[in-house]
Structure 1
């Protein structure tokens, strides 16, 4: 409970003070409730006497009513938190997680799947807030009421009290067993839930590909395996709880039966009155009730704890450090100085191995080379995706370790190879680069990126919704919207990751013209596989195995007859390739 309480304090966030005051009210209410049963026993004992003392009886009754009034007031305080603050706790948790995810280094964020994050922000937050708003109060009642009632029963009749003291603790090992098994099972279930959620997101987003491959429905092995594993984990968890739950509940019932038997024998011997026995039995039943509820709720306790642990893991994540939060970028040349970088500390070979180069301000630099050579990693480090293991990345006079990420993002615009558009209008997707932009500015950026032409043919123009991930647009249209977004941002540094990969020849020319217009005013880094798109670059860097193996202009690299010249020859030769059609081969087969 100590560990769970600490996690609950994390969940309560800005509502901690109210949460603690409500817990104190719950404790007071539970004490008042248990004390009221003790007073009730005194009242029944007085009423069962042959010569009733009415003053004493009314005193007992007044105490009984006062204690219940105290409990009612405490429960109102408790309920006000449960029903008024629950939504606020959930909101605070989600906002806090959102803030942490926003500040989390991209390298760490990419380790988490979309489905897993969805389960975290959705289900885990709900269970965690339930812990702070309901579970804590149930636990207080389950711990306080039985303890006080045992003391009351011992005070009234030590023999019946000893029965309860002897039998009820025997259930604790089984309760502990339920807790251990529930904890293990629910953590495994949480992992299985996250994996299943990730596969569901993957399935929905990849339906066109899955349909083309005949892997939908029962044929979708990845989703099917994840759901089967989820079912298996949940079933095993539930089966492991069955026996200890039955034993714990039976022990509590046995304690009441034995207590009644002892009380009956005392009545037969004339050492206990029937009304007093009835009152003690009621107290024993009331004693067992919260314990039974606690046993049934252990799985919920553990589920809440598992959810709280997952939330705490994210809440404890630290953003990249900033040496000088007030640093401001005022020069826009980019330099890599002997940079070594690994995605994982235990990787034997670095992705970038002592790489050094400079991107002069207001110039166009192209990165070319085979897939996996480190080109995209270079562009990520410019946005401080992560810090290099050694060496430095600088913009102007500033090592990026000195600069706040928001300052970097303000001066860098990125067009990704895999375009992501939000399920909103075309106008909103472009304007998100500069929320205060006018419609005229949005349209000017769209024209520069060759977006206006296809938008003007749409029924709703710029107010057309693009669908989830931009699914209502073609690949080339999505790419052009993304480029328009970068143009509108008008950042002094622009990173383009294969910007023309998804464009037809007509659109490629228009987009290339837009990129050319940026060169005179911005520092542009282009990752390109199609070498014909970077012929006019101020410098071309050939990247192989995380190193710069060649650098120069297009003509200089051709003259050097190195790796770039071989790549150029291979690509220009590929343009002459032709695929023989079936119709052309038909006469020969005839």
Structure 2
């Protein structure tokens, strides 16, 4: 948390509103103009008390004059209410709902186009906060906040300026009161801004931890780490409690001080007015008018503290939205191209993850011919997954190039790139929808029959038909209603339906039992026919028949070749193979 966070000014708040309004800037500006006009007419209407009361209680009372001034006041109030009504048209007409919808769409487009490397820096709860609460705070409060800000500034300024024409000493006293309130308000804003930003951050952490807790509840129960024993969730909840407790304390003191300043200051101004009446320097009618105006003057001053709370809630939300939208997309270099061949080439690639000093890939070069099977092997953390991420343009390398069909990836749009790649992960993610719709994600235009045909090729049609609702069965959150092997086969059916020329497999059979592994392997055999296939392998026996095996260690490509050549070389691959064979022999003997 940055303790030197800049406090947003009224003008900055207005500019933030313009940014949020987007294509509806004209409507937002019109709304602000009408609010300014509304509170200007309000202040002028209050100033009419001077001639109105002078007409009634002056040396020469005039009922006709009083009626005329009363009519002027009524007309001004009518214009004020009309301006305020149409000023809120930005809210009531539904424009603000359109702005909210468009902002969420823009954020969604940003998630689609931003580098995945940048997106993974955000916890899920933080993104949930931005899309849900953040957008609500930043947009739906725009009109109300703007109205409060203008009401706090315009009427007091006009009233004080006009009061100098009536009695400069009382006007100077009111101006002094206003000036004293400003530094207290600044102090209040400083504490409020920090508190709102810290509270927003703590809330997003709690939201992320709650989501993680719910998703991992079966594991936590098995480890007896639920409730008070769930350390991460308890820590984030405790942190939120501390942030909220400190925030309440930090904003209570300046709020009480501001209330005291307003009350004491107004009493002092009224006392000065009474003294001036007694010594004859101020007429009774002017004093009565000032009494009415000063009582009205206290309202915007009392809003000083509440405005800080509201503006800083909006500011904290808008700051997170702005940070997300400011992330640079992966640009498509000119000229844009579409690969027609599907061989893959790495040429002296160096890559380090964001904020990491060590390279995850160091001078990696290899070629994968189209239509062949290539295996990536090596210890955990060696760089295998990073290589697959580079092929999907997770991020651009610091140096070197990655090409598909001879085209450097920056020249291929993300949409066209991913049209040509299917991925089957070890940890399958299914959406809480029907099996039919989960498979159809591979090709949204596919018919029901095409979906079922893909399911048959993935050897999951039989178990789907046994389910109570067949293809209309809801898979549950993250596919929780299905077994690991069933989820894996559905993900393969999805990839078969997509029918992309490049297929990447992240050891999809590693965590399965023997029966499920056999079924999944059959499904994979159907999927990879005539494709360029890259498979991450932990069990070397599953890729011994690969056309090419890339051995990766510490981010470097240390060996490559087929199984026979690598075994003959007796290098790193030979050592890994021998170690796995010894484990198998030990298991057989131990069994």
Normalising by structure 2, what TM-score? 0.95
The C-alpha deviation readout for 1:516-558, integer Å capped at 9, x for no partner, is: 3444421111111122221221111111111222222222222
RMSD of the TM alignment (CA)? 1.8
1:420 Cα shift? 1.0
Aligned to 1:266: 276
In 2, distance between residues paired with 1:15 and 1:356?
50
Which of 162, 174, 177 is 1:167 aligned to? 177
Task: Tell me the equivalent position of 1:139.
Answer: 149
Match of 2:4? none
Find 2:449's aligned residue among 425, 440, 444: 440
Equivalents in 2 of 1:535, 1:525: separation in Å?
Answer: 14
Corresponding residue for 2:109? 99
Contact 1:12 1:89 in 2 (8 A): yes
1:409 aligns with 2:418: yes
1:87-138: CA deviations, max 9, x gaps? 2222222111111111110000011110111111111111111442211111
Structure 2 residue 267 is the aligned partner of structure 1 residue 257: yes
Matches within 5 A, 1:292-307: 292-307=302-317
Tell whether 2:378 aligns with 1:379: no
Equivalence for 2:7: none
- Does residue 129 (structure 1) correspond to residue 132 (structure 2)? The answer is no
Aligned to 1:449: 458
Distance 1:224 1:116 in 2: 18
What does the per-residue CA deviation read over 1:219-277, in whole Å, with 9 as the maximum and x for residues that have no partner? 21110110110110111122122222222221111121112112222232344344432
Check whether the contact 1:85–1:133 (CA below 8 A) recurs between aligned residues: no
Cα displacement (A) at 1:50:
5.1
Aligned residues: 581
Q: 1:192 aligns with which of 196, 199, 202?
A: 202
Structure 1 Cα separation of the partners of residues 223 and 288 of structure 2: 72
Residues 1:18 and 2:27 aligned together: yes
- Cα distance in 2 between the residues matched to 1:533 and 1:444: 27
| Equivalent position SS for 1:435 | coil
Report the 3-state secondary structure (helix = DSSP H, G, I; strand = E; otherwise coil) of the residue aligned with 2:328.
coil
Give matches, 1:533-552, under 5 Å.
Answer: 533-552=542-561
> Out of 71, 87, 93, which is 2:97 matched to?
87
1:140-166: per-residue Cα shift (whole Å, max 9, x none)?
111101111112222222222122122
Partner of 2:186: 176
Shift of 1:4: 2.0
Q: Give the whole-Å Cα distance in 1 for the aligned partners of 2:26 and 2:559.
A: 63
Distance 1:67 1:178 in 2: 34
Aligned pair 1:309/2:324, yes or no?
A: no
**1:167 Cα deviation (Å)?**
2.5
Alignment-derived partner of residue 515 in structure 1:
524
1:497 alignment counterpart = 506
Q: Separation in 2 of the partners of 1:285 and 1:315?
A: 45
* Equivalent position of 2:81 in the other structure: 72
Maintained 8 Å contact 1:171/1:247: no
Instruction: Check the 8 A contact 2:210/2:233 in 1, yes or no.
Output: yes
Is there any run of 5+ residues in structure 2 with no aligned partner, and where?
Answer: 1-9
Q: Distance in 2 between matches of 1:518 and 1:204?
A: 34
The residue that corresponds to 1:392 in the other structure is: 401
For residues 210-221 of structure 1, the aligned pairs below 5 Å read 210-221=220-231
3-state DSSP of counterpart to 2:535: strand
TM-score (normalised: structure 1): 0.95
Which whole-Å CA distance do the structure 2 matches of 1:318 and 1:155 have between them? 56
265-274 or 6-15, which deviates more: 265-274
Structure 1 unaligned spans of 5+: 585-590
SS at match of 1:575: helix
| In structure 1, C-alpha distance between the alignment counterparts of 2:58 and 2:589, rounded to whole Å | 111
Deviates more, 1:293-302 or 1:370-379: 293-302
Cα distance change, pair 218–579 in 1 and its aligned pair in 2 (3 A): farther
Report the more deviating stretch, 24-33 or 431-440: 431-440
In structure 2, C-alpha distance between the alignment counterparts of 1:142 and 1:61, rounded to whole Å: 25
* Aligned partners of 1:339 and 1:352 also within 8 Å: yes
In structure 2, distance between residues paired with 1:300 and 1:109:
29
Is residue 151 of structure 1 aligned with residue 161 of structure 2? yes
Closer, same or farther: CA 528–346 of 1 in aligned 2, 3 Å: closer
| 1:483 aligns with one of 492, 517, 526 | 492
Deviations 1:309-341 (A, max 9, x none): 111111111101111364111111111011110
Report the CA distance shift for 1:311/1:296 in structure 2 as closer, same or farther (over 3 A). Answer: same
More displaced, 538-547 or 102-111? 538-547
- 1:267-286 aligned at under 5 Å gives the runs 267-286=277-296
The Cα shift of 1:196 comes to: 1.2
Q: Tell whether the 8 Å contact from 1:190 to 1:306 is kept in structure 2 after alignment.
A: yes
Q: In the alignment, is the contact (CA less than 8 A) between 1:328 and 1:407 conserved in 2?
A: yes
- Tell me if 1:564 matches 2:573: yes
Match of 1:232 among 217, 238, 242: 242
Partners of 2:412 and 2:292 lie apart in 1 by 68
Asked whether the 8 Å contact 1:475–1:503 carries over to 2, the reply is yes
Q: Distance in 1 between matches of 2:268 and 2:175?
A: 12
> Does residue 65 of structure 2 align to residue 37 of structure 1?
no
Displacement of 1:24: 0.4
Given the superposition, is the C-alpha separation of residues 345 and 325 from structure 1 closer, same or farther in structure 2, using an over 3 Å criterion? Answer: farther
Give yes or no for contact 1:115–1:201 (8 Å, CA) kept in 2.
yes
**How far apart are residue 560 of structure 1 and its match?**
2.4
Deviates more, 1:526-535 or 1:317-326: 317-326
